[in-house]
Amino acid sequence: MVSKCANPTCSVTFQYRRGRLFRFPKGPMEKGRPANTHSVQHFWLCEACFMTYSLEYDQEKGVALRRRFGEAPEPTPRTFIAVA
């Protein structure tokens, strides 16, 4: 269950119909056992964070927080917030 913004530096608590909700597949292994093939992880960015950031999924590394396109002149660094 989503309880706060996925941005590690933000402490805004989840607000229904505010911000942006993301859904990504869970990794193939969870605590040493195979994950359900329909398992997903939910992440939420508050309105303020969604104006600057987005979340992306990398199948090998996990979920990353990155600056939205057009916000930075050079390739934007990613901060991984969940493992694949």
Residue pLDDT, tens place only, 49-71: 999 999 999 888 889 999 887 65
Of the candidates 55, 51, 42, 58, which has an alpha carbon nearest to the alpha carbon of residue 19? Answer: 51
Residue pLDDT, tens place only, 3-28: 999 999 999 999 888 999 999 887 66
Distance of CA 18 to the CA centre of its chain: 16
* Whether the Cβ atoms of residue 64 and residue 51 lie closer than 8 Å to each other: no
- The pTM assigned to this predicted structure is 0.72
pLDDT at 36 exceeding the cut of 60? no
